[in-house]
Amino acid sequence: MAGKSRRPISAEPGRPRARLAPLVALALLAGCDGRQSVLAPAGADARVLDSLFWVMLTGAVILWLLVNGLFFYVMRINRGAMSRRFADGLIIGGGVIFPTVVLGALLAWGLSIMPDQRAPGEGLTLRVTGEQWWWRVEYWPEGADTPIVAANEIRLPAGQRSEILLNAGRVIHSFWIPALGGKMDMFPGRETRMSLKPERAGNWRGQCAEFCGASHALMAFEVVAMPPDDFDSWLQAQAAPATPPGDAAAQRGARIFAREGCGACHAVRGTEARGAVGPDLTHVGSRLSLGAGTLGTTLEDFETWIAHTGAIKPEVEMPGYDHLTTADLADLAQYLKGLE
């Protein structure tokens, strides 16, 4: 209204947002680290891909600065008329020749490092099959006639390159351990291959990187790189038959396992259970997760998984055993937990 002065607009409301910007940037940078980050390489192959990312990003930034710098120069700095020769030089040199040289150099360098991603293994071979929705894992040491079968977990010797042969059961999957290397698709009826070389011992997380159905997001796996001597000892222990149930609860659980027909789908070496439909459970108690990275491996996790499988992992082929009594579930979990 007339007679009243207008209050100047204050810049104060914008200041808290400006103060938050560094915090947001730090939070985003924190996401660059972790067990499943391509920007925290722990393998020779991942390190090459990390270098590729940063070099390509640098090239893209240089091109962006050049093109936008030319626009800024023409629109803001030198706004007057310029000679035809100078204008043609800016367009041809800055808009054609320089981008072509930069992109050509990046392409040539990127193609030159591709053979490194196809290097052969050095002895150990793993055969990994993507199922719905879990991972069948077979270890083939050099010269072995039969594999050592496991599931939902990958163990590798640190400092050595291992050959990995990839297959799929019914639908397409993709095998990806971001901290160790790039991904490779898996196809039914067709074998693909890759190799990985962890540079140090540690624990990482892998994931199916191709949408494969209702429980695609719940198809992960633990990855453990071990010193070579520790890996050899672990692999030797994995080749042994299952540990017999020790206490009375585990013995009751073994009888419940047989009574419910679990051996028709699962194998427990050293017992009558020889099923090949589901994961091998010979040493399931020593694994780091259940249900392909879905749950931990406490007794409570075993009970929850057995009773409510379908609720935890939609459309999984294993039925839930919620008809079991609380005591039977506890005994069965005790038996499975003891398979180490």
Of 65, 89, 117, the position where a domain reaches its end is 117
Q: Is residue 145 classed as helix, strand or coil in its secondary structure?
A: coil
Domains in the chain, number: 3
In this prediction, what percent of the chain has a pLDDT beyond 90?
65
150 lies in the same domain as 113: no
- State the distance between the two ends of the chain, measured CA to CA, in whole angstroms: 83
Peptide bond into 54 cis (omega under 30): no
pLDDT confidence tier of residue 192, bands split at 50, 70 and 90:
very high
Of 199, 204, 247, 262, the C-alpha closest to 227 is 199
Q: Measured between alpha carbons, how far is residue 19 from residues 12, 29, 246 in Å? A: 11, 17, 61
107 shares a domain with 87? yes
The whole-number pLDDT of residue 326 equals 96
Q: Quote the DSSP letter at residue 94.
A: I
So what's the pLDDT on residue 30? 53
Question: Of the residues 205, 237, 269, which one is the last residue of a structural domain?
Answer: 237
Residue 144, domain CATH: 2.60.40.420
What is the per-residue pLDDT for 10? 47
11 pLDDT band (50/70/90 cuts)?
very low
What is the mean pLDDT of the segment spanning 169-178?
Answer: 95
Residue 305 lies in a domain: yes
In terms of domains, do 134 and 73 share one?
Answer: no
Q: Are residues 129 and 229 in the same domain?
A: yes
pLDDT band at 167 (very low <50, low <70, confident <90, very high): very high
Q: Quote the domain boundaries for residue 43.
A: 38-117
Residues 113 and 130 in one domain: no
Phi and psi at 194, nearest 5°, equal -155, 175
Q: Would the pLDDT of 21 be above 90?
A: no
* 157 and 182 co-located in one domain: yes
| Same structural domain, 132 and 232 | yes
- Judged against a pLDDT cut of 90, whether residue 251 lies above it is answered with yes
Give yes or no for residue 159 having a pLDDT over 60.
yes
- State mean pLDDT over 31-48: 86
Which token pair is 17?
């947002």
Residue 54 sits in the same domain as residue 131: no
| Confidence category of residue 172, pLDDT binned at 50, 70, 90 | very high
Model confidence at 178, pLDDT cuts 50, 70, 90, reads very high
Is 220 in the same domain as 133? yes
Q: How far apart are CA 13 and CA 55, in angstroms?
A: 39
Run of H or E including 102: helix 98-112
Q: Is the pLDDT of residue 9 over 50?
A: no
C-beta of residue 169 within 8 angstroms of C-beta of residue 131: yes
In a 13 Å sphere around the CA of 262, the CA atoms on its Cβ side amount to: 22
DSSP state for residue 74 in the 8-state scheme: I
Least confident of 50-59, 194-203, 267-276, 284-293: 50-59
Query: Do 229 and 288 share a domain, yes or no?
Result: no
Among all chains, which residue has been given the structure tokens 């050095």? Answer: 122
One domain for residues 179 and 215? yes
Instruction: Look up residue 334 and give its two tokens.
Output: 């005790």
Q: CA 66 to CA 61: how far, in whole Å?
A: 8
Note whether 104 and 154 are same-domain residues: no
Token code pair at residue 47: 């390190």
The residue-averaged pLDDT of 36-59 equals: 90
CB 161 within 8 A of CB 197: yes
What pLDDT, on the 0 to 100 scale, is given for residue 246? 86
